[in-house]
Amino acid sequence: MVFRADTLPHHGRVSTVAVKHITLRTRESMLSVWHEVNIMRQLKHNNIVAFTGAIRPDNNKVCITLKYIDGATTADLCLRNVLGERHVARICDEVLKGLQYLNLHLIVHRDIKPDNILVSRTGQVKIADFGIAGQFAPGRLTDNWCGGPIGWMAPEFEAGQEYSLNVDIWALGRLAAVLSGVQRDSRFKAVPALSMSSTLTAFIQLCQQPRSSRPTAGRLRNPPHSFLQIACGAEDLARLDFGPSP
């Protein structure tokens, strides 16, 4: 569970943080939590929620503290707004910036979905929740760990086959389809809607190519895919209905 909290005054200043409260039930859960902490403490990027610390109040609990983002998940935004393709393009481009940075550190998120993409009230987009993230060893760019949310895993990931740094791109294609209101088939893959532009269709199809032909985050951004070029500005995301402030 994640809670909002204020820190104790430091030099007269109080900060607001998000506290991820985790109960340790097994040795494996403890190792998983510290794996998440070790990954997050490496990361400093504008499109990734900032890690600020971790404490263990007792033997059965760990609290991870993160910079608080005043805004909403993209899942919540979709409940209050109809996102246009320009909004979706902006969100996808910002997520790609974060994924490109993760790839430089040989890290894969493995849980890209609307609940884990945050948008602040100023229009900043952040990747959150590194609970099942993985990091490749130098020189080894494939793995066959299996896990993650049903319907959001790349086919090779879901099947327990080898995957690589482009595994999150498949989920990004699904994210673009869901945020833009595209219908899905029984396997949760995107099916083009009548109102969807050809550039969005091409973007989703490219993201959901087989692993061997699926691009990396860097390839999608350099040069930018034509869909990303229609992205709105941060100020346009900031105009969306976020609901009441907490």
Q: Which domains does the chain carry?
A: 2-67 (3.30.200.20), 71-238 (1.10.510.10)
Determine the pLDDT at residue 8: 61
For residues 24 and 168, the model is more confident at 168
pLDDT exceeds cutoff 60 at 31: yes
C-alpha to C-alpha distance for 246 and 243, rounded to whole angstroms: 9
Task: For 126-138, write each residue's pLDDT tens digit.
Answer: 999 998 898 988 7
Q: Report whether 164 contacts 153 (CB < 8 A).
A: no
Q: Report whether 154 contacts 170 (CB < 8 A).
A: yes
pLDDT exceeds cutoff 80 at 98: yes
pLDDT confidence bin for 140, thresholds 50/70/90: low
Q: Which amino acid is at 62?
A: V
pLDDT confidence bin for 33, thresholds 50/70/90: confident
C-alpha to C-alpha distance for 154 and 169, rounded to whole angstroms: 8
Q: Give the residue numbers annotated as catalytic, written as ranges.
A: 111
This prediction has a pTM of: 0.88
Determine the pLDDT at residue 109: 94
Lowest mean pLDDT among 136-140, 159-163, 182-186, 203-207: 182-186
Q: Which residue has the tokens 């893959």?
A: 189
Determine the pLDDT at residue 120: 97
pLDDT exceeds cutoff 90 at 72: yes
